[in-house]
Amino acid sequence: MIIHLKPGIAKEKAENLAKELQAVLLADETKKILVTPSALKSVDSRFDDVVAEKFVFNDDLLLGSRQYRKKTREIRIGNILIGGDSGHTLVITGPCSVESETQIETMARLCVELAVKMLRGGAFKPRTSPYTFQGLGTAGSKLLSRMREKYGLKIISEVRDATHIEEIIEYSDVIQIGAKSMYDHGILRRCGSAGKPVMIKRGFGTLLQEFVQAAEFILSGGNENVILCERGIRTFENKTRFTLDLCGVSYLKEKTNLPVILDPSHAIGYAYGVPDLTRACIAMGVDGVIIESHPDPKTALSDASQQLNPDEFRKLYKSLAPVAKAVGRIIV
């Protein structure tokens, strides 16, 4: 249950109510909100004089639900706006891993050329094998930061585990929680108090229910700016790397108030399918896409098969505006 307390309730009283109901208290100058387990369906009548509004739920999708907030949340990343009434579909591109200054700068310049506003790149890579390239670490973060300063791009980069989260918060405009880290309470809790938007990727073995619950960890920590990212789930099919779950995206659009960004590159794992899939994602009417690109994919230190080269990305990018327009949206 979500309970909006009446204005003027003292903070101490709100805290006592929270304790009594085993609830999370969200409070700022203008509002005080209690969030209880969804199993709670009613409160005692003696609460009547403190409760302004109540919302009862079927499952643990509460703050992030459309039942609670009808409209998709509006999220600002500097001068970029997604969600709300914007009708914007954000395109993000860049390499899987930051590998060198030359490499990341090539992609930053491609962004500038095409007016793409946000650059991606991994500094801390959650590789499955300990014997392969693990990312440049802090040096990679700093290269991304330099691209922001030099080219005015916004930066999204992934936190791998709780040990280096402060660095990602410092160097990124959007904190990306990767598919393998999305259950990490150390990360989720810290993001709840971070002052930056968070994009959380669905784990490849993660139920939609668990995915939105992970978002609830951040929302209930007080961070209102959470973006969901579907990047493919693991199924029995092995001709493609993962299976992009657009049925799940329909569910997220219907049931949640959170902007949705799609990652077709990781889903299929092969560059040949990325253009068609990206256009399909745009036609779904989502809030963004994130596409891997690399100056020379065949030499990439990770995800070599799925990154587009600059010409492939240019061609794809130019095909997106008409599709967006056909579904009433604008590429930003």
The token duo for 181 is 């880290």
Give 119 or 320: the residue with its C-beta nearer to a copy of itself: 320
* Whole-number Å distance between alpha carbons of 264 and 199: 15
Give 108 or 219: the residue with its C-beta nearer to a copy of itself: 219
Q: How far is the CB of 138 from a copy of itself (least distance, A)?
A: 15
Q: Which stretch binds a copy of itself (CB under 8 A): 7-15, 148-156, 177-185, 291-299?
A: 177-185
Q: What is the pairing mode between strands 226-230 and 198-201?
A: parallel
The token duo for 323 is 């599709």
Q: Return all residues near 107 (Cβ < 8 A) that are at least 6 apart.
A: 93, 94, 95, 119, 121, 293, 294, 295, 310
Q: Could you tell me which residues are beta bridge partners of residue 261?
A: 229, 288
Q: Which stretch binds a copy of itself (CB under 8 A): 78-86, 149-157, 176-184, 296-304?
A: 176-184
Asked if 163 interacts with a copy of itself (CB under 8 A), we say yes
Asked if 100 interacts with a copy of itself (CB under 8 A), we say no
Q: Which stretch binds a copy of itself (CB under 8 A): 5-13, 150-158, 181-189, 291-299?
A: 181-189
Does residue 25 contact residue 15 with C-beta atoms inside 8 Å?
yes
Asked if 157 interacts with a copy of itself (CB under 8 A), we say no
Asked if 233 interacts with a copy of itself (CB under 8 A), we say yes
- Site string (48-77) toward a copy of itself, x via CB under 8 A: ------------x-x---------------
Q: Which stretch binds a copy of itself (CB under 8 A): 74-82, 84-92, 139-147, 324-332?
A: 324-332
**Site for a copy of itself (CB under 8 A): how many residues?**
82
Asked if 253 interacts with a copy of itself (CB under 8 A), we say yes
Amino acid at 266: H
Instruction: Let me know how long the chain is.
Output: 332
- Selection from 332, 230, 315, 225 nearest residue 281 by Cα: 230
Asked if 299 interacts with a copy of itself (CB under 8 A), we say no
Give 152 or 205: the residue with its C-beta nearer to a copy of itself: 205
Which residues inside 127-156 make contact with a copy of itself, applying CB under 8 A?
128-132
CA geometry: angle 164, 166, 172, nearest 5 deg: 100
Does residue 14 contact residue 24 with C-beta atoms inside 8 Å?
no
